[in-house]
Structure formats: C-alpha cells, structure tokens
C-alpha cells in the first residue's frame, strides 16, 4: 500500500512539468484585464492563466528585476519600453510577424520605444487628464488647475495619482514650460507650485474606484477609460483635458526574457490582436485599441463616449508620454521626493 502511495506521489511529481506547459502568468496594471478575455483564451487554448496586478511601471519592473517572479507576459507603457530593453528584460518575440498583426492600425505599427514592434503587441491607448465631480464644481474642467490650484469647492477632496512624470510634465506645461526641460528656473517653479498645491490634496494614491463613486474624493488626475467607468457608476463625474497639456499614451503587452511559458505567451500576444478580443479589452477598460475591425464588436456608444471624444480645439494639447534624458529624470525624481515628503 505504502509503496503504491509513494509511486503515485512520484508520478504526480513527474506529471507536474507536463502540467506547467499549460500555464501562462500575466502581469498587468490593476483593473485592466477583462476576466472574460482570460476565460475565453483558456477555453480556446486549454492554457491555465494566472493574473497578477501592479499599479505602476516602476513597481512592475522592480518586481521583475528582483527575479524569481515566474511571470511570462507584462504590460508596459510605450514610454517605459526602453527601460525594460536597456536591461534586457524583454524577449524579442516579433509580434510584427504574428498572424493577427495585419489587424494593427497603421498608426500603431510603430510605437515610442519599439518602432518596429519586435517586442510588443498593442493593448490599449488613452489619455491622462483630470476627472471632476461636476455636482461639486461646475466651472471649466479642461485645466490642470483642478489639481495645481483647486477651486474652493474641491479643496481637500482632490487626489493626485502618484505618477511622477505625468504630474511634473503637466505642471511644467501649465507654467508655460516644455516637458523634460533642463531649465532649472522652470523646474523650480514647478516644484514650488506643487508644494503650494499639496495642502489642497486629500490623498496621493492610486485610489479604488469606489472612493470616487461614494464621493470621498471628488477630483483627481485620472485616466480617460477609468473616468468612463466611474461616470457609469456616478454620472456626476466628467473627464477633462487640460488645455495647457494632457498626457497621451499607449500600453503594450510584451514577453519577458526569462518567461517559462514562451509559446503560450506568443499565443496570447497574437490573441489580443484579433478584433473581437481587442474589443473585449476596450469594452472592459473603456479605452480605445489599435486593432482595425474591433469597432464591430465594441459596446454601442463606447467609441463616441465623452472620454474618448477629445474636443477638436484640444487635440493639439496632447503630450506624448516619454522618458526624459537621465539628468532631467534625476531632477524630476528629486523634485518628486521633495513634494512627497
């Protein structure tokens, strides 16, 4: 009896690697992956998918650098791809040669940090602007003053999302300076303005959506798609594009250099470039995607939802999210520590 038990245990151990071939570990931003997409992918391929979430690119890369993570696919903001590449963290998986790459819209076949799409497949694109509860404040919301010089009605109810580059970029543009400037006078002004504004913020965090829905917080730097999801739960909230400059970005899926389930990861990258699957992602995240033909599968009203419809006069104010040269990045970092202390 014992011998059969041991044999059974041994064979179970031997069976494990075979089982592991049917796995895929995905590392994505929080509230960014439709459960339906993973269920369908599992049903169609037999691959068992595990999802792990993070809040920021910096947090994700710190975990990957630490090693022993067991992750296969990571979603990276386009501007942050060079950081991954410089450290050799991504596998050259050639999404540009995958079957579904033909669906990628021409404007997205090249992206900052991965011009030939040798490493990444598009996930979604969107903007970072401001979100305001218009039941509390009815003035103009197309301005960075919402967080830099909040109107009386919003003071003490503003959240700042702790995205260093986005915040400092928008602050510099609000002051009339260029992003990634090395002009110390402009940077000093940006720091001073942030320090003056700080007492008016309630929190500096990646807040859960319900904090807005329940009106614990009534304004924030925020992402277009996430703002759409909050508006559906609390119609008072509206999304604004600061006229002096707001962020525009794309997020992309890549395979890690030390991935253990490379073939499944390739399958997944190809899978998300299929129109019906890209539409699933858009329907869930409320962001636009880069896949032509996905429109047919999208929820009615999503494409012309207020958050995705940038007013014509504000289209030019978009700032492409990018990493500054190292010496400026260092100054950003020090300003940030001073403001956050």
Partner 1 sequence: MAETSTPETRVWRDELRRRWALASPAMIVITLFSILPLMVMVVYSFLAPGLYGNVIWEFSLRGWAGVFTERDLFDDTLGIAWAHVTILGRSVALALATTALTLVFGLPTAWFIATRHPSTRAFWLFLITIPFWTNLLVRTIAIQEVIRADGTINRILLSMGVIDAPFAMMFTNGAVLLGMSYVFLPLMVLPVYAAIEKFDFRLAEAAYDLHASRLYCLRRVILPLMKPGIVAGSILVFIPALGAYVTPRLMGGGRAMMWGNLIDLQFGQGRNWPLGAALSVVLTLVVAGALVWYVRATAAKGGRDG
Is the distance from CB of 122 to CB of 111 less than 8 angstroms? yes
| Integer Cα distance of 88 and 337 in angstroms | 28
| Integer Cα distance of 232 and 147 in angstroms | 23
Q: How far is the CB of 58 from partner 1 (least distance, A)?
A: 5
Beta strands, E only, 91-144: 120-133
To the nearest 10°, the Cα dihedral for 51, 65, 334, 147? Answer: -10
Name the residue nearer to partner 1 (CB basis): 199 or 301.
199
Name the residue nearer to partner 1 (CB basis): 87 or 97.
87
Name the residue nearer to partner 1 (CB basis): 201 or 271.
201
Residue with tokens 């991935």: 259
| Integer Cα distance of 271 and 101 in angstroms | 10
| Integer Cα distance of 128 and 318 in angstroms | 9
Name the residue nearer to partner 1 (CB basis): 206 or 297.
206
Q: Tokens standing for 250?
A: 């794309």
Is the distance from CB of 74 to CB of 27 less than 8 angstroms? yes
Which stretches of the chain bind partner 1, using CB under 8 A?
56, 58-59, 61-62, 65, 83, 86-87, 156, 159, 162, 164, 184, 187-188, 191, 198, 201-205, 214-216, 326, 331, 333-338, 340-341
Question: Minimal CA–CA distance to 112: which of 289, 288, 292, 321?
Answer: 321
- Residue 205 CB contacts under 8 Å (≥ 6 apart), including other chains: 159, 161, 162
Q: How far is the CB of 310 from partner 1 (least distance, A)?
A: 28
Question: Minimal CA–CA distance to 22: which of 55, 56, 45?
Answer: 45
Q: How far is the CB of 100 from partner 1 (least distance, A)?
A: 31
Name the residue nearer to partner 1 (CB basis): 120 or 264.
120
Q: How far is the CB of 247 from partner 1 (least distance, A)?
A: 16
Q: How far is the CB of 293 from partner 1 (least distance, A)?
A: 37
Indicate left, alpha or beta for 217 from its phi (over 0: left) and psi (-120 to 50: alpha). Answer: beta
Q: How far is the CB of 272 from partner 1 (least distance, A)?
A: 26
Name the residue nearer to partner 1 (CB basis): 112 or 277.
112
Name the residue nearer to partner 1 (CB basis): 9 or 340.
340
Q: How far is the CB of 302 from partner 1 (least distance, A)?
A: 29
């Amino acid at each position: 009896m014992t011998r059969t038990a041991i044999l059974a245990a041994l064979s179970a151990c031997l069976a494990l690697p075979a089982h592991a071939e049917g796995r895929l570990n995905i590392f994505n931003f929080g509230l960014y992956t439709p459960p339906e997409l993973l269920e369908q992918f599992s049903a169609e391929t037999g691959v068992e998918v595990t999802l792990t979430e993070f809040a920021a690119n910096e947090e994700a890369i710190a975990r990957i650098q630490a090693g022993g993570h067991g992750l296969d696919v990571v979603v990276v903001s386009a501007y942050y791809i060079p950081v991954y590449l410089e450290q050799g963290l991504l596998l050259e998986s050639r999404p540009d040669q995958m079957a579904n790459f033909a669906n990628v819209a021409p404007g997205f076949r090249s992206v900052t940090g991965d011009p030939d799409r040798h490493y990444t497949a598009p996930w979604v694109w969107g903007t970072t602007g401001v979100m305001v509860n218009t039941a509390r404040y009815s003035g103009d919301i197309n301005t960075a003053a919402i967080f830099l010089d909040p109107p009386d009605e919003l003071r003490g109810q503003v959240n700042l999302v702790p995205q260093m580059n986005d915040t400092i970029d928008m602050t510099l543009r609000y002051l009339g300076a260029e992003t990634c400037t090395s002009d110390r006078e402009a940077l000093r002004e940006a720091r001073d303005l942030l320090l003056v504004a700080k007492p008016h913020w309630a929190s500096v965090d990646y807040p859960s959506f319900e904090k807005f829905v329940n009106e614990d917080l009534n304004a924030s730097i925020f992402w277009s798609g996430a703002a759409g999801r909050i508006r559906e739960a609390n119609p008072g909230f509206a999304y604004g594009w600061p006229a002096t400059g707001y962020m525009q970005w794309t997020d992309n899926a890549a395979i890690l250099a030390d991935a253990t389930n490379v073939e499944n990861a390739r399958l997944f990258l190809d899978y998300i470039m299929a129109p019906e699957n890209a539409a699933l992602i858009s329907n869930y995240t409320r962001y636009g995607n880069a896949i032509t033909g996905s429109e047919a599968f999208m929820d009615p009203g999503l494409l012309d939802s207020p958050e995705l419809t940038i007013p014509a006069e504000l289209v030019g104010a978009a700032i492409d999210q990018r990493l500054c040269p190292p010496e400026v990045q260092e100054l950003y970092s020090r300003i940030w520590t001073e403001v956050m202390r």
